[in-house]
Chain A
Amino acid sequence: MAKAIGIDLGTTNSVVAVMEGGKPTVIVNSEGSRLTPSVVAFTKAGERLVGQLAKRQAVLNPENTIYSAKRFIGRRYSEVQSEIHNVPYKVVAGPNDAVRFEIMGKQYAPEEISAQVLRKLADDAAKYLGEKVTDAVITVPAYFNDAQRQATKDAGKIAGLNVLRIINEPTAASLAYGLDKKKHETIMVFDLGGGTFDVSILDVGDGVFEVRSTSGDGHLGGDDFDKVLVDWMAEEFLRDQGIDLRKDRQALQRLTEAGEKAKIELSSAIETTISLPFITADAAGPKHLEMRLTRAKFEQLTANLVDRCVAPVKQALSDAKITERDIEEVVLVGGSTRIPAVQALVRRLTGGKEPNQSVNPDEVVAIGAAIQAGVLAGEVKDVVLLDVTPLSLGVETLGGVMTKLIERNTTIPVRKSEVFSTAEDNQAAVDIHVLQGERELARDNRTLGHFRLEGIRPAPRGTPQVEVTFDIDANGILTVAAKDQGSGKEQKITITGSTQLSKEEIDRMVTDAQAHSEEDRKRREEVEARNAADSIAYQVERQISDLGDRVPLNEKARAEQLIAEIRELVKGNSSDVARLRQLTSDLQQVAYGLSSSAYSQAAGAQGAGTSSAQPGGGDDVIDAEFKEN
């Protein structure tokens, strides 16, 4: 069955996505990029270029390179006077006052230009999927009128696409977050892109989206932030060196790139360095630009741009006749919403609400469009929604720690097993304590069940192999089985409630684990240090008894003294990790000495056999043991 794609046809860049195996995926274009510039060029050689290639030749051919066609689509010539002055190509009036671009004596409608972009996106998608693509959902701004929507649909038709539906960009963004599946809600979508700012208030309920109001600024976006930085750098340089870099096209280009890079870095770092060696030269020689920019300075420079977002948000709220308190969800769209000051503003304007921003804001609209395309093509409803285990699952092992078998967020059905051993000599039974949670220690996690596997044949500790298997079926039912590979004895337990926790409960357990991660790690370290010390003490004890008289007396005394100290510490649940590790390593040294002196005394005797066969050496035997009750 043919795939339907979702297209975010943007003013500056476009993105295409598709549903695959029930998950939306952004498609990489033939140039290896996830964003395709919405640019079309007609070259003097009669070639037609779309996307990145068209952009690369734009300065040579400005009058025949069309960008921002979206600002003209479906509009009347008389409406777009202000836009015409912002573009270097020729915009003329066509039949019925329609907008036409005049390129090398020929007139093109904006929908013909957009069709070129759509065609490229569909072709790249077909190449990626390895099959023909005809069906598409295309997004438009919520404020687009009927003529603009119809023209966008026509662009799709010209591109040879069957346009399943035209949907609003804020709706698509909300779909990407699954907000249609919730109860009735009021949503604000804040979209600050490369060159446009849109804010929309939506009502959603029972899968129906209603746009209550829209507002924005048609000429505000990330490019303005870059420009502020370019001007700042150029002014500083002019003051220090007396040269205006903006007059040198090559220097300006390097400044613009460095400005954009600094802006992006300041979204995660609080300070960045701009370094442009050999940016220019005068009679005195080459000049370098080297500047430090803090986030605070960046915020001060761009404060007026951020402030320009305030009025449209207030306008949208008042047009929808609601206040900030009525907003239940906030969705961020557009790369510029990564700027911390913009996010802070959004929080401030929505009563401190934490916005949805886990989906890449450059791609969230295309992803929503792909989900809608999947629904319309009948794919999404057929797909089994695969569930995940919300919390990790495991068993308690020696020293009261939790050993995880299944990590949280593993897709189910799933089956995992591990081999464990005993903690004592001749241990006849093991207790399996099934746990759920993210904490390191067993007692801090939730107990799902207990059972006991008996009938293990007498053997030194660490020798028996007990295979523990966790199996979660598609319905979230967990079965834990333990099997002694020596005796073939098996025991199991089935637990039904493992995935049926409330979201709050899961969140609490995860946050809890994060909050305690440091102390948990420390306590786990202590347990592990005690286990390691105890294990070496046991090994050396056995070694001494196996070797008998062949052990030199002084070494034996030294070993026994170390073992006694370790036993003392282990018994007292000592938290002195450094001391435990020191003792472990000292005793290890003694053990090496013991086996070599035993070898030299009795070459050929198989004295050291036991110590090399201890657990921890084998590949599938993990270094953890059950506690004997």
Chain B
Amino acid sequence: MDSTTKTTKSPPGSEPGETERLKEELRREHEMYLRALADFDNYRRRVERERASAARSGKRELILSLLEVLDSFDRALEHAGDSSSSISEGLQAIYRKLQRVVEAQGLTPFDSLGETFDPELHEAIGSVPTGEYESGTVVDEVQRGYRWGDEVLRPARVRVAE
């Protein structure tokens, strides 16, 4: 037996299935490696995507609770609407100041009154019988809706014409 044929056979001392077994093991290891690589790549991409939104979600909680304060102002001013006392003027000024604070964070209120009800923008809390408006029209806004960039941060809470 010459040396060339010898090298094509299994090395001396090893089981006949050894090469197959090693090949199979290598294939498995390689697949595992690729899988980990793929997972990591996806992970990295998503982390990048989420980094921006993580900073946002930190702010989100704060802004949402500030909106509750703005809502209270909305309600307070509704009642102070007629009285033009200096207290009421002062309240108006604080309200506008707070509004500018949230707007500086990229927040914009949107109008809902007279629009057609859209669950992307509105949360219905009731319907109102009315002959004036077409069915499905927002006739009362009890809580203002806000956009934050492209996202609807908080839908408006509305009543809709029956």
Residues of A whose CB lies within 8 Å of any CB of B are 1, 20-21, 32, 44, 49, 53-54, 56-60, 128-130, 249-250, 253, 277-278, 281, 285-286, 379, 382-384
Residues on B with C-beta less than 8 A from A383 are 32, 35-36
Q: Which of A20, A60, A286 contacts B43 (CB 8 A)?
A: A20
Give residues 117-142 of B contacting A (CB, 8 Å): 117, 119-120, 122-127, 136, 142
A20 and B120 in contact, given A277-B75, A277-B76 (Cβ under 8 angstroms):
no
**Shortest Cβ distance from residue B66 to the other chain A in the assembled complex, whole angstroms:** 14
Q: Are A57 and B119 in contact (CB under 8 A)?
A: yes
**The one of B72, B124, B127 that contacts A277, using a Cβ cutoff of 8 Å:** B72
Residue of B nearest to A129 (CB): B42
A59 to B126, alpha carbons, bound, how many Å?
6
Q: Are B142 and A278 in contact (CB under 8 A)?
A: no
13 further contact pairs, Cβ within 8 A, besides A59-B127, A278-B72: A21-B39, A21-B40, A49-B119, A59-B124, A130-B45, A249-B125, A250-B142, A253-B157, A278-B76, A285-B79, A286-B75, A286-B79, A382-B32
Which chain B residue lies CB-closest to A43? Answer: B119
**B39 near A20: Cβ-Cβ < 8 Å:** yes
Closest to A250 in B: B142
Find out whether the CB atom of B151 lies under 8 angstroms from the CB atom of A21.
Answer: no
B27 to chain A, nearest CB (A): 12
Most buried by B among A56, A128, A129: A56
**Which of A20, A54, A286, A379 interacts with B119 by CB under 8 Å?**
A54
Q: Are A60 and B127 in contact (CB under 8 A)?
A: yes
Q: Count the B residues whose beta carbon is within 8 Å of the partner chain — how many?
A: 31
Check B75 against A278 for contact (C-beta < 8 Å): yes
A44 to B117, CA, bound (A): 12
Q: How far is the CA of A245 from the CA of B123 in the complex (A)?
A: 20
Closest to A379 in B: B35
Show the binding face of B for A, using Cβ within 8 Å: 28, 31-32, 35-36, 39-40, 42-43, 45-46, 72, 75-76, 78-79, 117, 119-120, 122-127, 136, 142, 151, 155, 157, 160
> A382–B119 contact, CB under 8 A?
no
Complex CA gap A57/B151 in Å reads: 19
- Give the residues in chain A near B42, CB-CB below 8 Å: 20, 129-130
Which residues of the other chain, A, contact B43 by a CB distance below 8 angstroms? Answer: 20-21
- Complex formed: what's the CA distance from A286 to B31 in Å? 69
A285 to B75, CA, bound (A): 12
Residues of chain A within 8 A of B126, CB atoms compared: 59, 249-250
Roughly how many angstroms separate A49 CA and B78 CA in the complex, as a whole number? 34
* Closest A residue to B74 using CB positions: A278
Partner of B35, one of A53, A250, A382: A382
Q: Which residues of A contact B136 (CB under 8 A)?
A: 44
Q: How far is the CA of A250 from the CA of B120 in the complex (A)?
A: 20
Q: Enumerate chain A residues within 8 angstroms of B122, measured Cβ to Cβ.
A: 56
Q: Which residue of B lies closest to A59 (CB)?
A: B124
Q: Say how far B116's CB is from chain A's closest CB, in angstroms.
A: 10
Q: Chain A contacts of B75 at CB under 8 A?
A: 277-278, 286
| Known pairs A20-B39, A20-B43, A250-B125; A56 contacts B119 (CB<8 A) | yes
Assess whether B28 is in contact with A382, with CB atoms less than 8 Å apart: yes
- Separation of A32 and B54 alpha carbons in the complex (Å): 12
Q: What are 16 inter-chain pairs, A to B, with CB distance below 8 A?
A: A44-B136, A57-B117, A59-B124, A59-B127, A60-B124, A129-B42, A130-B45, A249-B125, A250-B126, A250-B142, A253-B125, A277-B76, A286-B76, A382-B28, A382-B32, A384-B32
Expressed in whole angstroms, the minimum distance between the Cβ of A4 and any Cβ of chain B is 14
* Cα A518 to Cα B32 with chains together (Å): 46
